[in-house]
Copies of this chain bind each other. A is one copy, B any other.
Amino acid sequence: MDETAGTRRVATDYVECLERRDWAGLTALLAEDVVYDMPQTRERIRGRAAFVQFNAEYPGDWHLRVRRLVADGRFAAVWLDVRVGDDRLDACVWVDVDERGRVERITDYWPESYDPPAGRDHLVERW
């Protein structure tokens, strides 16, 4: 398995372990000093134990489905369809894998809905 295929496998497993609440499986995918960044809130979690705990404690009946997964060398990008009860949102996740094939950095974006600005409706349709 080449580096890109390994990264694709790890990023896929990462989402599947979260969805299954498989904390032992998740732990096995992560570097001990993994860093998890949420740039929108400027929050950072350092270390495998804290990151697994963060997910285990995360409130709500959340579910993840991969819309797209793009892997390239040691980097992956995952476009997620997230459901929490009746709410739906998309997430963009950037995954870095280290030379041993473990996840060493995760950067999550949670884009929220907003109203379109004025002045472009001559070019745009809404759905």
Residue numbers of A with Cβ under 8 A of B are 4, 8, 38-46, 50-51, 53-54, 57, 59, 68-72, 75-77, 79, 90, 92, 94, 107, 109-116, 119-120, 123-127
Count this chain's copies in the assembly: 2
What is the CA–CA distance of A44 and B51 in the complex, to the nearest angstrom?
Answer: 36
What is the CA–CA distance of A125 and B71 in the complex, to the nearest angstrom?
Answer: 29
Task: List residues of chain B with CB within 8 A of the CB of A111.
Answer: 39-40, 92, 109-112
**Neighbour of A39 across the interface among B39, B42, B90, CB < 8 A:** B90
Contact B79 A43 (CB under 8 A): no
Task: List residues of chain B with CB within 8 A of the CB of A43.
Answer: 116, 120, 124-127
